[in-house]
Amino acid sequence: MLKAKSSLGVIFFPAYDWAISPTHPEREERLLYTQDQFREEGLFDIEGISEHRPLFATDQDIMRAHFCFPSVDAICTESHRISAGGAIQAARLVLEQETRRAFALVRPPGHHAMKVVHGNRGFCNINIEAVMVEWIREHYGRKRIAIVDTDCHHGDGTQDIYWHDPDVLFISIHQDGRTLYPGSGFPEENGGPKALGRTINIPLPPRTSDQGYLYALEEVVLPILAAFKPDLVINSAGQDNHYSDPITNMKFSAQGYAQLNERLKPDIAVLEGGYSIKGALPYVNLGICLAMAGCDYSAVREPDFDPVALREEPDTMEYIKQLCGQLTDNYFRPKPGAFEKQGEYFIRERKIYYDTDGILEKQREELKDCDQCRGLRLIKSSSSHLLPCLGVELPIDCCPACEREAYEQFNRKNDDYLVVQLLDQKNKQFRYRPKR
């Protein structure tokens, strides 16, 4: 009988009773054929591979990662709490050493959900990796965490959440933003003023196949990980980079994805996108599970897999080599960014569009340039649907001055904000200002 070399817990939660809409890619059917494949292959009969049910993310779990305006309940339904709870379960299994690794095969996904959430962006409401990472730090203390996002779309939500956090290294390998939603994820996006080099973007050209992906992994991701020395490696394992995916243009295969995971050796993987539900997901997910468990995956392949058609074109490979040649510098020698500053605050002003819900958010972020700590952060956010709200964030190493200032902001009596939320990582206080 087959035996896993490193034990793997799989949280398989297909949410068979939830869809964004009946024909939306994010619908009930999405993981049906993956489950069929798992069952027929007898994945859970392999000694050392176990199946687990998700936990349920509470308001506190979500408020550690997000400013939810106007409220947590307005942003997420049970499905989002369970999906995030699946990621939490994966983390719990690994940190309690019940299994060596874990894979949260859950839906709906989360990597487009940013720090502030007003609704659904790119099929995501709350960022399930971020909820998980904050849960880990809440229960197991401060950790160095690397998130490697291999979804075909730029993980703009996760990037945004950890933009200012030097403890979290975020690396996204995706299809070039000039050719795909959300249109971001360029090498110059390199982290905030206090976390420069902790955000790395690898925008691959359309039609990149296994060879190109694995080249980027070997030449950029692995050397940076070796230098960062994370306590935990997380793979945001979106599968829309597959050659059969209907909404993207890459040529990645199940074999390629399995090899990527074998070399990356993530402690935790979390499913993100991936909408070729019959032609890709059953094989890619099987490949990822076997690779994470250290089992032989050499015979896992799609029925229509054609190595000739999927071979990397020389031009593409040349482009990737050129691109990757410069990217490690973004970690080791990041260029000082041109950050706008007003007084002692770094300022970012942005408009963010929530495609699924048709919401336009207007946001102003103020990060205090403090020499004692990472600095208090204020996010003023309003939208086409909502009056201005305020998020007050205290970093984990918050100094007394920033702490005092943050609580003054939070406790003010006569400002005009509709909702004010406190996210105090230092004192672990996550709450809304009581309504008057």
Partner 1 sequence: MRIGIDIGGTHTDGVLIDGTRLVAAAKTPTNHDHLLESISQILHLILAGQDPTGISTLNLSTTLTTNAIITGTTDPVGMLVVGGPGIAPENYRIGNHFNLIPGSLDHLGTETARLDTDRLEQVITGCCDQGVKHFAVVAKFSPRNPIHENQMAEQLGNRADFVSTGHLISGQLNFGRRIHTAYYNSAVARSFRNFSTALTASLRGFALKAEVNILKADGGTMPLARALEAPVQSIFSGPAASVMGILATTPVSADVLMLDIGGTTTDIALFAAGQPLLEREGIAIDGHPTLVRAIHVESIGIGGDSLIYINDSNVQTGPQRLGPCLAKGGTAPTLMDALNVLGLANFGEVGQSRDGLETLAALHGRKGRQLAKEAVETAVNTISTKIEELIALVNSKPVYTIAEILEDREINPKKIIVIGGPAAVFKELLASRLGMEVKVPPLHGVANAIGAALTRSTSHLILTADTTKGKLSVPMLGIFRPIPRSFNLETAVEEAKTLLIADLEQAGISIPASEIQITQADTFNMVEGSYTSGKNIRVVAQVQPAVVARLDENAALVAIAARL
Active site residues: 112
Instruction: Assign 3-state DSSP to the chain and report helix, strand, coil percentages, each to 5.
Output: 30, 25, 45
- Angle, helices 281-292 vs 32-41, to 10°: value is 50
Residue (of 138, 201, 141, 122) closest to 169 by Cα position: 201
For partner 1, the closer CB: 32 or 196: 32
Task: Say how far apart CA 106 and CA 82 lie, in whole Å.
Answer: 8
Task: Say how far apart CA 321 and CA 335 lie, in whole Å.
Answer: 21
Least distance CB 299 / partner 1 (angstroms)? 5
Q: In the window 242-261, what residues touch partner 1 (CB under 8 A)?
A: 246
Give phi and psi for 388, each to the nearest 5: -55, 135
Least distance CB 174 / partner 1 (angstroms)? 23
Q: In the window 288-307, what residues touch partner 1 (CB under 8 A)?
A: 290, 295-296, 299-304
Task: Say how far apart CA 334 and CA 227 lie, in whole Å.
Answer: 14
Residue of 41, 138, 231, 355 interacting with partner 1 (CB under 8 A)? 41
Does 53 contact partner 1 by CB under 8 A? yes
Residue of 5, 29, 418, 428 interacting with partner 1 (CB under 8 A)? 29
Stretch that binds partner 1, among 43-51, 143-151, 198-206, 312-320 (CB under 8 A): 43-51
Q: How many residues in the shown chain lie near partner 1 by CB under 8 A?
A: 49
Residue of 4, 7, 13, 125 interacting with partner 1 (CB under 8 A)? 13
Residue of 36, 96, 329, 344 interacting with partner 1 (CB under 8 A)? 36
Give phi and psi for 342, each to the nearest 5: -125, 115
Does 58 contact partner 1 by CB under 8 A? no
Task: Say how far apart CA 18 and CA 36 lie, in whole Å.
Answer: 19
x-marked contacts with partner 1 along 261-290 as a string, rule CB under 8 A: -----------------x---xx--x---x
Does 426 contact partner 1 by CB under 8 A? no
Task: Say how far apart CA 222 and CA 215 lie, in whole Å.
Answer: 10
The length of the chain in residues reads 436
Least distance CB 16 / partner 1 (angstroms)? 5
**139-178 burial: b if 16+ Cβ within 10 Å, else e:** eeeeeebbbbbbbbbbbbbbbbbbbbbbbbbbbbbbbbbe
For partner 1, the closer CB: 42 or 325: 42
Tokens of 169: 């290294």
Strand 232-237, strand 145-149: pairing: parallel
For partner 1, the closer CB: 230 or 282: 282
x-marked contacts with partner 1 along 130-169 as a string, rule CB under 8 A: ----------------------------------------
Q: Cα Rg for the chain, rounded, in angstroms?
A: 21
Residue of 8, 9, 18, 266 interacting with partner 1 (CB under 8 A)? 18
By CB under 8 A, name the binding residues for partner 1. Answer: 1-2, 12-19, 22-23, 25, 27-29, 32-33, 35-37, 39-43, 45, 51-54, 56, 78-79, 82, 246, 278, 282-283, 286, 290, 295-296, 299-304
